[in-house]
Structure 1
């Protein structure tokens, strides 16, 4: 079969998938362009979400401007396309931390993650936004953080639009760090099968106990200026347990799981002036001290999740580093360590 016909078959498969998902696309315009492999530029979902425009940055990178009906707002979504788009490829949804990719704390700014993943023949999908929100569905608009329905956006609105616009094969995995490590576990719990593999680096694995609640409040309230009562209600609200990955761990069964954490003891990436340090050298001792406390709590929650999954008989890969605080150098290494688990979901037949 010719290269042209192969690409056309991929495009038609994408259209068929889109129709099945209730997305309106026009088969007449579904022929993919050579690079970066955009299949369809006018895609609208039955829930009212749609891609407003696709901004081509270069031969491998596009930015989707996605209108979210749930949030009544447009969200930027950056996609690194596969090097070869002649066949439909799987997608890795890669989330930044608490800043939502809006600040300097991003995979692109601080690591070689995109260079590494750029060799894997996958789509790398990054949502830009959602700072301090835990990427969850908030029960009320917040005076500071606004309207947040990020779980609905990520698990319901976005994937079918990405699949239709870029002609993916509909197979997904997800990876995230810090705050969003909690979120991606909850995505997998809320929508079983959407993400075949989940990797979380220094993520909080439990949120409804007093320690977990304080870690969530530190993120949302102290650093983000929001109010967790607008997110999941008061601390005795059942929504805290409903959004606790450890409480709902049974629903992770069947998903390839990877967890990693340091232990809070400063290590090779915690030296002032080091390659992965974002702050000035004079500020490093204070930043490392804060990161040490955070990572200690993360380590504790990951051990608890490990015990819980063992009790349930759910296999998972846990990596406990013998040093390391809450910082980018470790997460770059962790992403590479997690690749076999991510690839298991992206490329293996279920």
Structure 2
């Protein structure tokens, strides 16, 4: 799919979309939109996996943040030999509430026959999983790039007898973060998958998207990468730094914001709730339209750099059923990268 040029019409569209995202996100503080049904069944499956040793809850200390970080792990199906690891990040809430992979998707069943360890940090809300320039009065000290790329992997490799081969994937806020992390630590990850993330931080759209997440939680975005629009923001912009993704397996997806196959009243996430239906179509549609523009820009940039990548677009909103689908669609690529 081609990307429109940088004309004034496109800039106006981007800013309008981003402004709507900001105002709607402030009206609805949670940007994790669809709480899918069947949570009790998922809890039971997770409990069984824990009892059988297929799932683990760990606590890993971060020296850089001076805090303990909860980590949930799905262990590779066959541990007779060391296996690779996929780091799978949650969205804006960081997994600190019920908007996370285990409550919202079939991740436990999905991983049951996979010979890859899946590691999910259950913290990091509204942080963009990055190293903040300053301690924030509301969100505290955030050094997530340091934790995820330096502190956590050695602990995971030792605990799981992993083979040191890694990939990373994430949704929404973390869809931005995983690209930036793969660019920051290019030798750490063989593959990266971004689902419904805005791949920009140093554009009008990117800055406003960051502001919607961080500002909506009470944080100050000037504490992330220094002065807004300054060199720190450019240094963390996945599109600007896309050349650092060369040589990796890359999968990026976004809905268009238009109603898709999960956006109907009978879907599990909606279950006939007209108010929820309107909320997902309105808020989820607008946010996904914004990520769609960002994703098109990343695609254009990678094509210009002649860096191969898989992009997947389909009608759909910013909600968990689509991310569950995209994990499954991207898995063959991730698995090949991790086992090559």
TM value normalised by structure 1? 0.80
The reply on whether 1:310 has 2:303 as its aligned counterpart is: yes
CA contact (8 A) 2:265 2:271 kept: no
Q: Secondary structure at the match of 1:176?
A: strand
Aligned residues: 291
The structure richer in helix per residue is: 2
CA contact (8 A) 1:113 1:335 kept: no
Specify the alignment match of 2:55 in structure 1. 61
Q: Secondary structure at the match of 2:251?
A: strand
Corresponding residue to 1:211 among 197, 202, 205: 205
Report deviation, 1:280. 5.2
Specify the alignment match of 1:197 in structure 2. 191
Q: Secondary structure at the match of 1:276?
A: coil
Q: Which moved more, 1:283-292 or 1:202-211?
A: 283-292
Q: Distance in 1 between matches of 2:265 and 2:110?
A: 26
Could you give the per-residue CA deviations for residues 117-137 of structure 1, whole angstroms, max 9, x where no partner exists?
Answer: 221111110001000110000
Structure 1 residues 109 and 281: CA distance shift in structure 2, 3 A: farther
Q: Distance in 2 between matches of 1:277 and 1:142?
A: 36
Structure 1 residues 235 and 82: CA distance shift in structure 2, 3 A: same
CA contact (8 A) 2:133 2:224 kept: yes
Specify the alignment match of 1:291 in structure 2. 284
Q: Distance in 2 between matches of 1:114 and 1:91?
A: 15
Structure 1 residues 277 and 57: CA distance shift in structure 2, 3 A: farther
Specify the alignment match of 2:23 in structure 1. none
Specify the alignment match of 1:327 in structure 2. 319
What RMSD, in angstroms, separates the aligned Cα atoms of the two structures? 1.5
Q: Distance in 2 between matches of 1:128 and 1:278?
A: 27
TM value normalised by structure 2? 0.83
Corresponding residue to 1:148 among 126, 142, 146: 142
Query: What 5-or-longer segments of structure 1 have no aligned partner?
Result: 1-55
Could you give the per-residue CA deviations for residues 301-334 of structure 1, whole angstroms, max 9, x where no partner exists?
Answer: 111110100100100000011x101011111111
Specify the alignment match of 2:101 in structure 1. 107
Report deviation, 1:279. 11
Q: Distance in 2 between matches of 1:207 and 1:329?
A: 26
Q: Secondary structure at the match of 1:198?
A: strand
The reply on whether 1:267 has 2:257 as its aligned counterpart is: no
Specify the alignment match of 1:276 in structure 2. 269
Report deviation, 1:195. 0.9
Structure 1 residues 190 and 233: CA distance shift in structure 2, 3 A: same
The reply on whether 1:167 has 2:158 as its aligned counterpart is: no
Report deviation, 1:231. 0.9
Instruction: Map 1:211-230 onto structure 2 (within 5 A).
Output: 211-222=205-216, 224-230=217-223
Higher normalized contact order (CA 8 Å, seq sep 6+, divided by chain length):
2
Corresponding residue to 2:339 among 316, 340, 347: 347
